[in-house]
Amino acid sequence: MFGRRSDATLVTQLSTMRRFMPHVSPRRNDSLFYMMQDIEVEAALEFLDKRNRERPEDRPLTLFHLLLRACSQALYLRPGVNRFVKARRLWQRDGEWITFSAKKEIKDGAPMLTVKSRFHPATETLDDMVDRIYDRLRAGRAGKQTTSDKEMSLMVRLPVFAIKGLMALARIGDDLGLLPRSMIDADPLFTSIFLANLGSIHYPAGFHHLWEYGTASLFGVMGRIEPGDGGRRRIRMAWTYDERIEDGLYSYYTLELIRQHLENPELLIVTQGEPA
């Protein structure tokens, strides 16, 4: 409380401008920066073809898995983007967390499955990460509810005014640092990056807003595979991020690191050393 949180550490070494920015733009959606990024995927697709010859047929490595890996590495190596603003102060998040959404079935009206997971790029191999993600997805598609799902199922049975009141209390508790770690870890909107894969339904990338609730400071949307320059296949990533967490140059270099690792997928195999 008042300088402490269960999921983060207060950032104290900041320039005057960086400290003052949350007072000028107190809402996350007052502070959005949008960036469209082209990423060549020829090498990644060849890498997938080779690696999948060695993996179980029912657990293939996909381009989205490579994106998850590249993002987790970037969060670890470039920790300045793994931050968020809460109560007009800047916080360094504990660990690399990524949330992503997936359809339970690829058809209209199918329910959406949201998965939040902590990643360990310094110790976890690429294959271990992929197997863990498959385990989480299969549990969700089999109907196993997360703690967050159970909480929402109970809350939607309440009158609207009661839900409004509970959400207001949650926001106040979050600002004061009173939310327990168990609640934060279970909530998909308390995350480093939220990712969506529109390429899985053959859609182009599009920009997404950030939520005021929670602590997600970045949202990335992966689009479909398309022909690029010289016929080389590419994807487009649409990034939305809260510019209060770091300056534009640092953020740009971080997104470029994600691109470089996807275009050179051998970099995704190795575990990472100490962050810069």
Using DSSP's 3-state secondary structure scheme, residue 124 falls into coil
Low-confidence stretches of the chain (pLDDT < 70) are 1-2, 103-111, 140-149, 272-276
d(CA 205, CA 76): 25
d(CA 156, CA 218): 27
What CATH number is associated with residue 108? 3.30.559.10
Q: What is the per-residue pLDDT for 90?
A: 96
d(CA 139, CA 136): 5
Q: Does residue 274 lie within any of the structural domains?
A: no
For 96-153, the pLDDT digits (tens) are 999 998 765 555 555 677 899 999 999 999 999 999 999 988 876 666 666 666 777 7
Dig out the tokens for 141 from the structure: 């598609």
Q: Does residue 3 lie within any of the structural domains?
A: no
Q: Does residue 107 lie within any of the structural domains?
A: yes
Q: Does residue 137 lie within any of the structural domains?
A: yes
Q: Does residue 272 lie within any of the structural domains?
A: no
DSSP 31-58: SEEEEEEEEE-HHHHHHHHHHHTSS-TT
Dig out the tokens for 229 from the structure: 């320059």
Q: What is the per-residue pLDDT for 273?
A: 59
Residue closest to 37 by CA, chosen among 259, 192, 232, 216: 259
How many domains are contained in the chain? 1
Element (H, E) at 119: strand 112-119
Q: Does residue 276 lie within any of the structural domains?
A: no
Domain with 200, as residue range(s), is 8-267
Q: Does residue 273 lie within any of the structural domains?
A: no
Q: Does residue 231 lie within any of the structural domains?
A: yes
